[in-house]
């Protein structure tokens, strides 16, 4: 969560020293304070995860490349087509590398957005489970729930009285016109 950023925090609890993190535990703290409040941590953890996955499947990729692709008749019959790219000038290879990097970077950003959405959903679920709906008098949070409920009821009664008064006046006005 983005603590103390909006006025909702003050209007709900009446004080700025209260945090929702006191209710969520270590899992909620890690998700909220480490992954969501520091985007570089999420990005670095995602980079490390992708790197570990690539390193773990590297022997399989090496075997497939060495014995499946380099020794295939299909690749060497088309040497005249791909050999031009292999022997191309350095600026062209640099352009191809730049295009490949942009493609990988956009795919990584979309992966990061999906993971971030999932983590935000996890944080919401944790907050819904752990943050109390009602507050006790002995909590550190100072809130007078009953007073605000009475204010709402009083406002509704006053509104009903005004509507009744308005209806009575409109009936008197109609009878005077007849």
The answer to whether residues 67 and 84 belong to one domain is: yes
Segment 15-45, tens digit of pLDDT: 555 666 667 778 887 888 888 888 899 899 9
Residues 149, 83 contacting (CB under 8 angstroms):
no
**Of 66, 27, 31, the residue nearest 45 (C-alpha):** 31
DSSP 142: -
- CB of 23 closer than 8 Å to CB of 141: no
Claim to verify: residue 31 and residue 51 sit in the same structural domain: yes
Rounded percentage of the chain residues whose pLDDT exceeds 90 = 28
Binning pLDDT at 50, 70 and 90, where does residue 143 land? very low
Buried b (16+ CB within 10 A) or exposed e, 134-167: eeeeeeeeebeeeeeeeeeeeeeeeeeeeeeeee
pLDDT at 35: 83
Token pair recorded at residue 110: 């979309």
Give the pLDDT of residue 90.
92
Count how many domains the chain has: 2
The whole-model pTM stands at 0.56
Tell me the torsion sign for CA atoms 163, 169, 172, 174.
negative
114 falls within a domain: yes
Do 112 and 167 reside in the same domain of the chain? no
Mind listing the pLDDT tens digit for each residue in 66-102? 888 888 888 889 888 888 888 889 999 999 999 999 9
Question: Range of 36's domain?
Answer: 8-137
pLDDT at residue number 169? 61
What's the pLDDT score for residue 16? 54
Residues 92 and 160 in one domain: no
Residue 174, token pair as written in the block: 């109609």
- The mean pLDDT value for 143-171 works out to 60
Do 46 and 90 fall within a single domain? Answer: yes
Average pLDDT for the chain: 77
E strand or H helix at 176: helix 145-177
Same domain, yes or no: 56 and 100: yes
Rounded Cα distance between 87 and 12, Å, is 68
């Amino acid at each position: 969560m983005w603590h103390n950023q909006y006025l909702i925090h003050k209007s709900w609890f009446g004080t700025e020293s209260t945090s929702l993190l006191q209710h969520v535990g270590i899992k909620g703290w890690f998700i909220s304070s480490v992954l969501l409040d520091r985007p570089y941590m999420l990005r670095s953890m995602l980079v490390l995860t992708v790197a570990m996955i690539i390193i773990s499947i590297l022997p399989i990729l090496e075997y497939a490349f060495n014995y499946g692709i380099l020794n295939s008749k299909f690749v060497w019959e088309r040497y005249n087509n791909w050999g031009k790219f292999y022997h191309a000038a350095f600026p062209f290879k640099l352009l191809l590398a730049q295009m490949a990097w942009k493609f990988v970077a956009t795919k990584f950003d979309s992966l990061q957005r999906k993971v971030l959405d999932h983590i935000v959903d996890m944080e919401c679920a944790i907050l819904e489970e752990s943050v109390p709906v009602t507050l006790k008098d002995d909590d550190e949070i100072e809130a007078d729930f009953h007073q605000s409920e009475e204010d709402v009821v009083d406002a509704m009664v006053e509104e009903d009285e005004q509507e009744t008064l308005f209806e009575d006046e409109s009936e008197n006005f109609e009878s005077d016109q007849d």
